[in-house]
Structure 1
């Protein structure tokens, strides 16, 4: 078995980077070939860009704030109300867009990506596919 180093990361110490959908992401940890964990943040009233992924699927868990998540796959679309404690999936190829409620705290989501999010900038650029969602984006345009 290949040696994989241990990782530890405090959320507050993690770098803040702009995700392709316009949200702020804090990469937290990854296991090679298996998955990665990150915390996504969206300011009150903000609306992400609609995207889909080429190779990555995700599991989301809302930890703070509220909002809505639109998902479309195989001709079926739905909007889910986001609230703390809710967990949802974004299967491979699903178009999705999310928005934070205008009143209240920022929307914070912890997400697992499988396989891990690409570290190489060229692979990361190829991962994101722009989509048309139900709401005009306010960030990441």
Structure 2
């Protein structure tokens, strides 16, 4: 059973995601967790695919785009405050921020992040900068 938990967002990053984005760990329960992912202005993440988890993202601040590919379906979606996207299990993805503006995203991960080995590097459309 999940415990009662209160987490205050850290000003400094708690970790670096396998895609290279900064991570600030937020609250979690047995079924899922939350975190804030961010990219500095004009940065491009590494392309990855998750083995067992899926995510829902909500853009808090900034602008950018995300590439997602699952089977034969492939798309690039603009990211702006208020935009929400899903990353189902097995979806390859890569994201980038626009010049001059940092990108901040609230992410929900289901189940909670299991640790090292969850992300598999893949080839994305852009050359990573982080």
What TM-score range do you get, normalising by the shorter chain? over 0.9
| Contact 1:14 1:28 survives alignment (8 Å) | no
When normalised by structure 2's length, the TM-score is 0.95
Deviation of 1:14 after TM superposition, in Å, equals: 7.0
Note the residue ranges of structure 2 that are not aligned, 5 or more in a row.
none
Q: 8 Å contact 1:28–1:38 — kept in the other structure?
A: yes
Find the residue that maps to 1:12 and give its secondary structure.
coil
Match for residue 28 of structure 1?
26
Larger Rg: 1
Q: What per-residue deviation string (whole Å, max 9, x for no partner) do you get for residues 32-80 of structure 1?
A: 2x10000001000010000000000000000000000000001221000
Q: Report the Cα offset of residue 133 of structure 1.
A: 0.3
* Match status 1:108 vs 2:104: yes
Counterpart of 1:121 in structure 2 is none
Deviation at 1:15, TM superposition (A): 5.0
Q: What is the aligned partner in structure 2 of residue 133 from structure 1?
A: 124
In structure 1, list runs of 5 or more residues that go unmatched: 119-123
Structure 1 residue 13: deviation in Å?
A: 5.4
1:54 pairs with 2:15: no
- Which has more helix, going by share of residues? 1
Q: Secondary structure at the match of 1:30?
A: strand
2:100 and 2:109 mapped to 1: Cα distance? Answer: 29
Which residue of 1 is the match for residue 10 of structure 2? 12
Question: How many Å separate the matches in 1 of 2:15 and 2:61?
Answer: 19
Q: Confirm or deny: 8 A CA contact 2:3 2:29 kept in the other structure.
A: no
Aligned counterparts of 1:42 and 1:61: Cα–Cα separation in 2: 14
Aligned pair in 2 of structure 1 residues 138, 11: CA closer, same or farther (>3 Å)? Answer: same
Cα RMSD (Å) of the superposition?
1.3
For normalisation by structure 1, the TM-score amounts to 0.88
